[in-house]
Chain A
Amino acid sequence: MSKRENIRIPVSQQPFTVIQPEDTTTIGGTVSVQINEKKISVPLGMTILEACRQNQIHIPTLCHHPDLCIAGVCRICVVDVEGMRTLQTACSFPITTPIKIHTSTPMVRKARRHIIDLLLSEHYGECYSCFRNGNCELQSLAKEYGVDGYTFGHIDKPRYKVDHSSAAVVRDMSKCILCKRCVRTCIDLQEVGVLEAINRGHDTHIGTFLDKPLADVICINCGQCINRCPTAALRANDPSDEIWEAIDNPKKHVIIQTAPSPRAAIGEEFGIEAGHSFTGELNTALRRIGFDKVFDTNFTADLTIMEEGTELLNRLRKVIIDNDSSVKLPQFTSCSPGWIKFIEHFYPEYLDYLSTAKSPQQMFGALMKTFYAKQAGIDPADIVTVALMPCSAKKFECNRPEMKASGFKDIDYGLTTREMAKMIREAGIYLPEMPKSNFDEPFGDASGAGLIFGATGGVMEAALRTVYEIVTGREVPFKNLAIEPCRGFAGVKQASVKLDGCVEQYNFLEGVELKFVVAHGTANAKKVMEMLRKGELSDVHFVEIMACPGGCLGGGGQPIPTNAEIRRKRAQAIYAEDESLPVRKSHENPHIKYIYENFLTEGPCGKLSHKLLHTHYTKRGKFIS
Chain B
Amino acid sequence: MKSNVETKKRSGPVVFSEYQRSEGIKKALQLGRENILFELKISGLKGRGGAGFPTATKWMLTAAANANKKFIVCNADEGEPGTFKDRVLLLEYPELVFDGIVIAGFTIGAASGIIYLRGEYEYMLQPLEDYLAEMRKDNLLGKNILGKENFNFDISIRLGSGAYVCGEETALIESLEGFRGEPRNRPPYPVDTGYLGYPTVVNNVETLASVSHIVLKGGEWFKKHGTSKSTGSKLFSVSGDCEKPGVYELPWGIKIKELLEIVEAKNTKAVQVGGASGTCIAKSQFDRILGYEDAATGGSIIIFNENRDMLKVLKNFMEFFIEESCGQCTPCRIGNIKLMEGIIKIENGDFTFSYINNLKELGKTMQVASKCGLGQSSPNSFISILENFSEEILHTNGKGKENVKA
- Show the binding face of A for B, using Cβ within 8 Å: 1-4, 7, 10-13, 16, 70, 72-76, 78, 85-87, 89, 92-94, 96, 107, 110-111, 114-115, 118-119, 121-122, 151-153, 177-178, 180, 197, 199-204
B184 near A11 with CB under 8 A, answer yes
Bound CA span A115–B362, Å: 9
User: How large, as a class, is the contact surface on chain B?
Assistant: 35 or more
With known contacts A1-B192, A4-B197, A75-B371, A201–B322 Cβ distance under 8 A: yes
A152 near B180 with CB under 8 A, answer no
With known contacts A197-B327, A200-B325, A12–B338 Cβ distance under 8 A: no
Scan residues 297-356 of chain B and give those whose CB is less than 8 A from a CB of chain A. Answer: 322-331, 333-338, 341
Interface presence of B369 (CB below 8 A): yes
A115 near B184 with CB under 8 A, answer no
Question: In the complex, which of the residues A73, A114, A121 contacts B328, with contact meaning CB atoms closer than 8 Å?
Answer: A73
B330 near A1 with CB under 8 A, answer no
Chain B nearest CB from A198 CB (Å) reads 10
Bound CA span A3–B199, Å: 10
Chain A CB within 10 Å — which of B185, B186, B199 has the most?
B185
Chain B nearest CB from A585 CB (Å) reads 50
B185 near A202 with CB under 8 A, answer no
Bound CA span A115–B335, Å: 9
B66 near A204 with CB under 8 A, answer no
Which B residue sits closest to A196, measured CB to CB? B180
Interface presence of B193 (CB below 8 A): yes
Interface presence of B381 (CB below 8 A): no
Bound CA span A87–B330, Å: 14
With known contacts A3-B197, A12-B170, A72-B185, A115–B330 Cβ distance under 8 A: yes
A201 near B324 with CB under 8 A, answer yes
Interface presence of B23 (CB below 8 A): no
B330 near A111 with CB under 8 A, answer no
- Binary per-residue interface labels of chain B (119-144) against chain A in the complex, 1 for a CB within 8 Å, 0 otherwise: 00000000000000000000000000
Which B residue sits closest to A5, measured CB to CB? B197
- Binary per-residue interface labels of chain B (160-203) against chain A in the complex, 1 for a CB within 8 Å, 0 otherwise: 00010100001000100101101011111000110011110000
Interface presence of B376 (CB below 8 A): yes
Which B residue sits closest to A117, measured CB to CB? B362
Bound CA span A439–B199, Å: 62
A75 near B333 with CB under 8 A, answer no
Chain A nearest CB from B247 CB (Å) reads 29
- Show the binding face of B for A, using Cβ within 8 Å: 65-67, 163, 165, 170, 174, 177, 179-180, 182, 184-188, 192-193, 196-199, 322-331, 333-338, 341, 358, 361-362, 365, 367-371, 376
Chain A nearest CB from B65 CB (Å) reads 7
Bound CA span A204–B185, Å: 19
Question: In the complex, which of the residues A3, A11, A75, A177 contacts B370, with contact meaning CB atoms closer than 8 Å?
Answer: A75
- A selection of 8 A-B contacts at a CB cut-off of 8 Å is A1-B199, A78-B369, A86-B367, A89-B371, A93-B185, A96-B187, A201-B325, A201-B326
Query: Across the interface, which residues of A come within 8 angstroms of B186, CB to CB?
Result: 12
Bound CA span A135–B338, Å: 28
A10 near B184 with CB under 8 A, answer yes
With known contacts A201-B324, A202-B325, A94–B365 Cβ distance under 8 A: no
Query: Across the interface, which residues of B come within 8 angstroms of A177, CB to CB?
Result: 330
Query: Across the interface, which residues of A come within 8 angstroms of B362, CB to CB?
Result: 114, 118, 152
B325 near A1 with CB under 8 A, answer no
B184 near A118 with CB under 8 A, answer no
**Is the contact region of chain A dominated by helix, strand, or loop, or is it mixed?**
loop
A4 near B196 with CB under 8 A, answer yes
Bound CA span A111–B197, Å: 31
B185 near A115 with CB under 8 A, answer no
Question: In the complex, which of the residues A11, A16, A76 contacts B197, with contact meaning CB atoms closer than 8 Å?
Answer: A11
Query: Across the interface, which residues of B come within 8 angstroms of A110, CB to CB?
Result: 361, 365
B333 near A204 with CB under 8 A, answer yes
Bound CA span A118–B331, Å: 7
B331 near A13 with CB under 8 A, answer no
Query: Across the interface, which residues of A come within 8 angstroms of B192, CB to CB?
Result: 1
Ranked 10 nearest A-B pairs via Cβ: A204-B327, A12-B184, A201-B325, A92-B185, A118-B334, A72-B185, A114-B365, A12-B185, A111-B369, A4-B197
Bound CA span A269–B370, Å: 36
Chain A nearest CB from B372 CB (Å) reads 10
A89 near B365 with CB under 8 A, answer no
Query: Across the interface, which residues of A come within 8 angstroms of B323, CB to CB?
Result: 201
B193 near A11 with CB under 8 A, answer yes
With known contacts A11-B188, A12-B170, A202–B329 Cβ distance under 8 A: no
B187 near A73 with CB under 8 A, answer no
A86 near B185 with CB under 8 A, answer no
Question: In the complex, which of the residues A3, A89, A180, A201 contacts B185, with contact meaning CB atoms closer than 8 Å?
Answer: A89
Chain A nearest CB from B175 CB (Å) reads 11
B196 near A121 with CB under 8 A, answer no
A75 near B187 with CB under 8 A, answer no
Query: Across the interface, which residues of A come within 8 angstroms of B337, CB to CB?
Result: 202
A13 near B184 with CB under 8 A, answer yes
With known contacts A10-B179, A75-B330, A111-B369, A152–B338 Cβ distance under 8 A: yes
Bound CA span A562–B277, Å: 41
A202 near B322 with CB under 8 A, answer yes
Query: Across the interface, which residues of B come within 8 angstroms of A122, CB to CB?
Result: 334
Query: Across the interface, which residues of B come within 8 angstroms of A10, CB to CB?
Result: 174, 177, 179, 182, 184
Query: Across the interface, which residues of B come within 8 angstroms of A76, CB to CB?
Result: 330
Chain B nearest CB from A409 CB (Å) reads 42
With known contacts A1-B193, A94-B187, A152-B362, A200–B163 Cβ distance under 8 A: yes
Chain B nearest CB from A16 CB (Å) reads 7
Bound CA span A87–B365, Å: 9
Given contacts A153-B338, A202-B322, 9 further A-B contacts (CB under 8 A): A12-B184, A70-B185, A74-B329, A86-B367, A111-B368, A114-B365, A115-B331, A118-B362, A178-B333
Bound CA span A78–B371, Å: 10
Chain A nearest CB from B10 CB (Å) reads 35
Chain A nearest CB from B369 CB (Å) reads 4
Chain B nearest CB from A95 CB (Å) reads 10
Bound CA span A72–B184, Å: 8
With known contacts A11-B184, A12-B185, A152-B362, A199–B197 Cβ distance under 8 A: no
B327 near A13 with CB under 8 A, answer no
Query: Across the interface, which residues of A come within 8 angstroms of B368, CB to CB?
Result: 78, 85-87, 107, 111
B331 near A114 with CB under 8 A, answer yes
B180 near A197 with CB under 8 A, answer yes
Bound CA span A76–B330, Å: 9
